[in-house]
Amino acid sequence: MSLATGSYLARRAAQKERVRILYRRALKDTLNWAVHRHLFYHDADALRERFDANKNVADIDTIDRMITAGEASYNKWRHPDPYIVPWAPGGTKFCRNPTPPAGIEIIYNFGREDND
């Protein structure tokens, strides 16, 4: 394998990774915009069609421009208040009951201590 071929394959692999990440982010963000699942399915199909329409583009520079335009469009239309699972970082229940600091002993016998 020549240096040019290796460089080409490395660039294509990086592009595939960027497209995969962009698709996953856009698909997850579609859930934030859809109120009901039946609306989400329609939007997810439309998103997939947009990605599949450009599946067979072969020019590397064109692909780079398309990825950059897609990332810009995604950043422009991102949901301003995305849904966060309550127990995930940033959720309403995250670290609600954190572990006690070191040095604090928790006694679970609730007043039945031995008074020796």
Averaged pLDDT for residues 68-88: 92
Averaged pLDDT for residues 38-49: 95
Q: Tell me the pLDDT band of 60, cut-offs 50, 70 and 90.
A: very high
Residue 21 — φ and ψ, nearest 5°? Answer: -65, -45
Q: Which residues contact 1 (CB under 8 A, 6 or more apart)?
A: 9
Please give the model's pTM, rounded to 2 decimal places. 0.74
pLDDT at 91 over 90: no
Helices (H), strands (E): how many in the chain? 3, 0
Averaged pLDDT for residues 18-28: 96
pLDDT at 11 over 80: yes
The C-alpha atoms of residue 52 and residue 73 are separated, in whole angstroms, by 17
- Above pLDDT 90, what percent of the chain? 59
pLDDT at 8 over 70: yes
In angstroms, the Cα distances linking 113 to 85, 103, 104, 108, 109 are 40, 19, 17, 10, 7
Are 15 and 64 a contacting pair, CB within 8 Å?
yes
